[in-house]
Amino acid sequence: MANRENSYKGRGGRDSIRVSHYVPEQTGEKGPGNDSASDAQRCAQERGQRGGQRRRQSASDVRVLRPGVVPGTQPPARAEQARTYAERHRKEQRSRTVRCGILIAVACGVALVVGIVAARGGVGSLLPDNAGSGSGNEPATQGASGSQSAEQGARATGAQNDGSIVMTLGGSADTYVKRGEGYVDGGCYAHDRTDGMITDKVTASGEVDTTTLGDYTVTYTVEDSAGMVATATRTVHVVDDVDGGWDDDGISVFMYHDVYDAANPPEGASSDQNLISTTLLDQQLSWLNENGYYFPSWAEVRAYIEGGHSLPAKSVVLTFDDGSEGFLTYAIPLLENHKIPATSFVICSDSDIQDKLSNYASPYVDFQSHSYDLHRAGTSGKGHGGRIYDLTSDEVAEDLKQSADILKTSDAFAYPFGDVSDAAPAGVE
């Protein structure tokens, strides 16, 4: 779970994933940051225990080959971009033993074949996709009638999605992974117009060999209660280097709050650091794309902080606190226009929380916890006066469990007001 004042301990779930290790040369220098939001602090932290809350489970059907493991014992499920490679892999799939489930070869287009492996429970693991550039970051295609580009290869495999389901990849759809490093699951979130958040029903399939340079595909699939099926894909680029090199001294997390229409600024907008105009935000998003920035998932950030994963030097995480009307109305269209993923930290006790999740579901915005009911004044007078100082670790944990039950994820958490009590970290754990 990501949190703003503590070290990140994001979602685990790599124990069942087979990883290859290779030690290439280390390169890279730190790329430029964005001064407009450099004061933002975000870390990642995953709670090890969440009681009975519903959450995404780790993926078990996306396989990464390990040196010494005979490739022939693992069924390929890689979606190739050319018909010849797709045909070849379909034949290989039929001749290999399926270890973790039944491999279903599904023809997904004139020149694409996507291998769908049935995974049980939770969101399937994703492959980090090498996009030294944040531009052109494509999200999940919403079934056959979805709003996203068919070039993403996301197709419905059952009843065609009529737009009821919106799938949101964690981080960039094009993810870069350094050859030989571990596989990190970025996750995929899903919202259904009738069922609400159905992230816990998402499964993943695919294969990536991190010892071999090349492009690989992971496919996420979800089905709602009406039988509608939607899919999303992530392209994984296994590389030795990226534009700008690999980071070695920390990445930036941008913290925004409210957004207003530049043509109709509210009183005091020019001096309120919590406000940003649509014009300025548009300029900043354009700058990030033009300068080739990459947008990692919370899981990638966690692995990076723990020292087990490399990120491009030009990496940045964009966050917006509170789920304000200005963010929902003005920022989301800009994020979609620039194809840049971001996180919205929402207050889950808000009376309109379900309306926000339903009406503003976007392939480029994942909703994470800003607590259930901690975003209000307390009685201690400590820090910024937040209620979190009045609670025990168990009470903090119960609050976050409530928010996770609503969002169907606990990947990230932003401390309200930036207040962190002595008891809070244990509750977040």
What is the per-residue pLDDT across 356-369, written as a single tens digit (0 to 9) for each?
999 999 999 999 99
Picking from 133, 206, 198, the residue whose alpha carbon sits closest to that of residue 168 is 198
Picking from 201, 272, 269, 259, the residue whose alpha carbon sits closest to that of residue 230 is 201
pLDDT at residue number 158:
55
Confirm whether 53-239 and 252-428 share one CATH topology: no
Picking from 283, 278, 292, the residue whose alpha carbon sits closest to that of residue 333 is 278
pLDDT at residue number 273:
87
pLDDT at residue number 429:
87
pLDDT at residue number 1:
61
Contacts of 85 (CB under 8 A, 6+ apart): none
Strand 43-44 with 2-3, pairing: antiparallel
pLDDT at residue number 270:
85
> Which of the following CATH numbers is that of domain 53-239: 3.40.630.30, 3.40.50.300, 2.60.40.10, 3.50.50.60?
2.60.40.10
Alpha-carbon distance of 334 to 326, in angstroms, equals 12
Residue 421 CB: number of other CB atoms within 10 A?
A: 22
pLDDT tens per residue across all 429 residues of the chain? 655 443 333 333 333 222 333 333 344 444 444 444 334 334 344 433 333 333 333 333 455 443 333 333 333 333 333 344 334 434 444 443 333 333 333 333 322 222 322 232 333 333 333 322 233 333 333 332 333 333 333 333 457 888 899 999 999 999 999 999 988 989 999 999 999 999 999 999 999 899 999 999 999 999 999 999 999 999 999 999 999 999 989 999 999 999 999 999 999 888 888 999 999 999 999 999 999 999 999 999 999 999 989 999 999 999 999 999 999 999 999 999 999 999 999 999 999 999 999 999 999 999 999 999 999 998 898 888 899 999 999 999 999 999 999 999 999 999 999 999 999 999 998
CA atoms within 13 A on the CB side of 355: 6
pLDDT at residue number 41:
39
> Which of the following CATH numbers is that of domain 252-428: 3.20.20.370, 3.40.50.280, 3.30.160.150, 3.30.1300.10?
3.20.20.370
Q: Domain boundaries in the chain?
A: 53-239, 252-428
pLDDT at residue number 362:
97
Q: What Rg do the C-alpha atoms of the chain give, in angstroms?
A: 21
pLDDT at residue number 162:
85
pLDDT at residue number 402:
96
**Over the stretch 208-237, which tens digit does the pLDDT of each residue have?**
899 999 999 999 999 999 999 999 999 999
pLDDT at residue number 30:
41
Letter for the amino acid at 389? Y
